[in-house]
Structure 1
Amino acid sequence: MLISILYFFICIVVIQLVYYAAIFGKFAFAKKQHTVPKKLPISVVVCAKNEEENVAQFIPLLAQQDYPDFEIVLIDDASSDHTLDVFEELEKQYPNIRLVKVANNEAFWGNKKYALTLGIKAAKKDYLLFTDADCYPNSKDWITAMSAQFTMQKTIVLGYGGYEKVANSFLNKIIRFETLLTALQYFSWAKVGSPYMGVGRNLAYKKEVFFDVNGFISHIQVRSGDDDLFINEAANAKNTALVYTKESFTYSKPKTNYKAWITQKRRHITTANHYKKRDQFKLGLFYGSQLLFLITAVVLLAFEFQWMLVLGLILIRYFCAWTVVGYTSLKLDEKDLKYWFPVVELVLIVTQLHVFILNIFSKPTHWK
C-alpha cells in the first residue's frame, strides 16, 4: 500500500515540477519588457454599479492619463446610489468622458455583460482598454504601456491587476498571493501559446475582436466572466500579447474580511467551470496535484516510509516552486510575498477546497 502511495507521490512531484519549471518558468524568467509608445485611439471602458465613492476617487486618475488620443466610457449599470450623479459631474468636468446610462432590463437583470455591451457599442475608438470602478492605474503612463503591445496581429493585451497592500493583514497576503499565482498562470500559458483568461481590472482588445466572436453571446447566461470567459473564447497564440511593466499595472482595494473574499472566490471558480475543457483540465490538474502533493507527503512522512527520499522530493518541489514564485513576485512588484510562500500556499489550497465544496451546494448569481 505505502509503496503505491510513494509511486503516486513521485508522479505528483513530477507534475508539479513540469508546471513550475517548464510552464510557469516561461514567464518567471522572461526578459525585462520595454515599452515603445504608440498613438493608437483608445477607449477606456469602466462599468460601475453602486460605486459612488470609488468612481469619485479613481475616475479623475484615468482622466489625467498622459496619452494623446483617448476617451473614457463610463457605464452606469442601473445604480441605486449616487454613482450616476458622480458620473454626470465628471462628464461636465472632463470633455473626453462619454456617459452610458443602463436601465434595469428584466431579461438581463444583474448581468454586467449587457451593460458592457452597450458601453462597447458606444465607444468611438478602435481599441478598448478595460478596468473596474474600484481600480486605479499605477502611473500616468498606463494607457501608453497597455496600448504599446498592440500590433497588426496582436489584438488582445493581457495586463496585471493587483491589490493594495494592507499592513499587518494575513488575509491581505493570501489575497495578493492568489492574485500573483493567477497572473503567473495566465501569463505563462499565454507565453507558451495557450492563453485562457485575463482580468477585467486590466485588459485590452481591439473592438473588432469583440464583434468577431459576437461579444458575450455564447456565455451571456453566465453572470460573471465578461473578462476571462471572453478571453477564453477569443484569445489564441497569434492574437494575444502580454504587458508586465510596472507602468502598466492597476491596483484595487482588496476585501478586508474572509467572508467577502470567499464570496468573491466562489464567483470566480463558478466562472472557471465554463472554460474550454482543455483549460479546465490543465487548471484542475495543477490545483489537484497541489492538494495531492500535501496529502501524500503527510501520509508518507507520518509512516516514515522512505522518508529520506520523500523529504528530498519535497525540498526539490519547494525549491523549484519558491524560485519561480520569487522571480514572479519581483516582476509584478509583490516582493514581500516570496517570503510567505509556503504558508500562504497551504492556506490557499485549503481555502480552494472549501470553496469547491461550498459551490457544490449553491452558486452565486449576480455580479453586484
Structure 2
Amino acid sequence: MLEKIFLILFFPIIIYYFCFIVNIYRGLNKLEKWQGDRIIEEYISIIIPFRNESENILQILSSIENQNYPKGKYEVIFVNDSSNDDSLEKLKTNIKDKNINIISVPIEFESKAHKKRAIRYGIEKSKGDIIVTTDADCILKNNWLKTLVNGFDKKTALISGPVEFLEENGLFNKFQKLEFSSLIITGAGLIGINKPLICNGANLAYRKKVFDEVGGFDGQLSLSSGDDEILMQRIWKKKKYKIKFCYNKEALSFTKANKNLNEFYNQRKRWASKGLFYELKSTVTSIVLIFLFYLFLFSLLVLSFYNINFYLPLFASVFFLKIILEFAVMYKGSSLLFNKKILKYFLITEIIHLPYILILAISGVFGNFSWKDRKLTR
C-alpha cells in the first residue's frame, strides 16, 4: 500500500523533471549560431563592480583595454563597493584609456552596498544605451564585446553570454567546472525555448531603457543575489522583447573557481537563497518541483533499507534515466560552448549532485552565508 501511494505522489514529478531536461536539449538545438561580430550603433557602458579584488583587478583591466572595439563607442565604469584592500589604488595607477572611469558607492550606502546597489549606481552614472556587466575576477577574449552585442536588434532587450571556469588541477576544480557549465547550458537551453530561468551577471548585456522600464532592481535590494536572473525574468514577463543567448565561444567570459569548499558552499548558498523570491510563479513552481524530484530520488535510496526489492530497482531505474538524459544535454552543450574533455568527470559529479542539491536548497533558504567578507542573510 505504501509503495502505491509513493508512486502516485511522485510519478508526476518524475515526468515533469524528465520533460524539463528534454526541453533544455530542445532549446539548445534551437539556439541561433552567432556569426561574426559587429560595431553596433548604440553607445555601450560596461559596468564592473568590485570589492577587494587586488588579485584580479589588473587582469580584468587588461582584458577591457584590449577589446577590439572603437574606444569612442563605449565607456567602462569600475564601481568600487567599499574595498578595503589595494584594488582601488591598483586601478587608479594602471588605467591608460580615457574611456575608463572609477566611481565608488556613496558612503551612506556603505553598510548595504552589495552587488545590486553597486551595479545600479554604475547604471545611474552611465551614458550608454546598452549596459554590459561582467565581474572583476573575469578574463575576456579580445573580441568579447563586439561578439556579445552582435545580437542586438530593435526587439532584443537582453543578451546572456557564456561563462566558464578556468582550467585548474584537482578533482574539486573539475567538479566545480562541470557543475557550473551545467548551469550555463541549462540557461542557454531554456532561453532557446523562450522560457528564461538562469543567466549570469558575469556576462550580460541589456538595454538601459528596458532596465528602467521594468523597475531595475526595485523591490529586490533586500536580496543579496539575483541581480541577473530577476531582471531577465522581469523583462521576459513584459512579453514584448526578445531575450537571446550568445552562442559563440568568442564571447566567453572566464572566471576562477572557488579556492576551497567553504568558499564554494557560501557562494552556492547565496545563489540558492533567491530561488523562492523569483517574481514569476511558474519559475518558483519549477524550482520547487525540481527540488521535490531530488528529494524523491534520495527517499528511494533511503527506503531501500525498508524494502530493497521495490525501492532499490526503482531508484536505479530513475537514476539511470536521469544520467542518460543529463549526459545528452551536457554533451550537446559542451559541444556548442565548452571543452568536451570535462565530461569524463560527469559520472562522479552526478553521484555528488544528489545530496549536494538537497543540502544547498535547504541551507540557501534557511541559512546565513558570507560574501566578500560580509555576513549576509537572504
TM-score normalised by the chain length of structure 1 = 0.89
Residue in 1 that maps onto 2:355: 350
Cα drift, residue 363 of structure 1: 2.3
SS at match of 2:369: coil
State percent identity of aligned pairs.
Answer: 21
Q: Verify: 1:124 aligned to 2:127, yes or no.
A: yes
Report if aligned partners of 1:90, 1:97 keep a CA contact under 8 Å in 2.
Answer: no
Residue in 1 that maps onto 2:144: 142
Q: Counterpart amino acid of 2:101? A: R
Q: Verify: 1:320 aligned to 2:325, yes or no.
A: yes
Residue in 1 that maps onto 2:39: 39
For residues 283 and 307 of structure 1, do their structure 2 counterparts lie closer, same or farther at Cα, with a shift above 3 Å needed? Answer: closer
Cα drift, residue 103 of structure 1: 3.4
Q: Verify: 1:241 aligned to 2:244, yes or no.
A: yes
Report if aligned partners of 1:13, 1:317 keep a CA contact under 8 Å in 2.
Answer: no
Give, in whole Å, the separation in 2 of the partners of 1:111 and 1:48. 10
Residue in 2 that maps onto 1:288: 292
Q: Which range moved further: 344-353 or 302-311?
A: 302-311
SS at match of 1:100: strand
Give, in whole Å, the separation in 2 of the partners of 1:51 and 1:294. 39
Give, in whole Å, the separation in 2 of the partners of 1:310 and 1:175. 26
Write the mapping of 1:207-356 to structure 2, written as runs, cut at 5 A. Answer: 207-236=208-237, 238-276=241-279, 277-296=281-300, 299=303, 303-305=308-310, 314-356=319-361
Q: Verify: 1:83 aligned to 2:87, yes or no.
A: yes
SS at match of 1:136: strand
Give, in whole Å, the separation in 1 of the partners of 2:175 and 2:34. 30
Aligned Cα RMSD in Å? 2.6
Report if aligned partners of 2:294, 2:357 keep a CA contact under 8 Å in 1.
Answer: no
Report if aligned partners of 1:12, 1:293 keep a CA contact under 8 Å in 2.
Answer: no
Report if aligned partners of 1:111, 1:366 keep a CA contact under 8 Å in 2.
Answer: no
SS at match of 1:66: coil
Cα drift, residue 336 of structure 1: 2.7
Residue in 2 that maps onto 1:19: 20
- Moved beyond 6 Å, runs of 4+: 306-310
Cα drift, residue 315 of structure 1: 3.6
Q: Counterpart amino acid of 1:71? A: E
Report if aligned partners of 1:223, 1:367 keep a CA contact under 8 Å in 2.
Answer: no
Q: Counterpart amino acid of 1:64? A: N
Match for 1:70 among 70, 74, 82? 74
Match for 1:153 among 152, 155, 168? 155
Q: Counterpart amino acid of 1:56? A: L
Structure 1 unaligned spans of 5+: none
Write the mapping of 1:86-125 to structure 2, written as runs, cut at 5 A. Answer: 86-91=90-95, 93-106=96-109, 109-125=112-128
SS at match of 2:145: helix
SS at match of 2:354: helix
Q: Counterpart amino acid of 1:155? A: A
For residues 290 and 362 of structure 1, do their structure 2 counterparts lie closer, same or farther at Cα, with a shift above 3 Å needed? Answer: closer
Matched positions, count: 364
Residue in 2 that maps onto 1:174: 175
Give, in whole Å, the separation in 1 of the partners of 2:243 and 2:349. 31
Cα drift, residue 89 of structure 1: 2.1
Give, in whole Å, the separation in 2 of the partners of 1:105 and 1:30. 47
Give, in whole Å, the separation in 2 of the partners of 1:360 and 1:42. 36
Report if aligned partners of 2:157, 2:210 keep a CA contact under 8 Å in 1.
Answer: yes
Report if aligned partners of 1:5, 1:296 keep a CA contact under 8 Å in 2.
Answer: no
Cα drift, residue 349 of structure 1: 2.6
Q: Counterpart amino acid of 1:192? A: I
Cα drift, residue 300 of structure 1: 5.7
Give, in whole Å, the separation in 2 of the partners of 1:306 and 1:90. 62
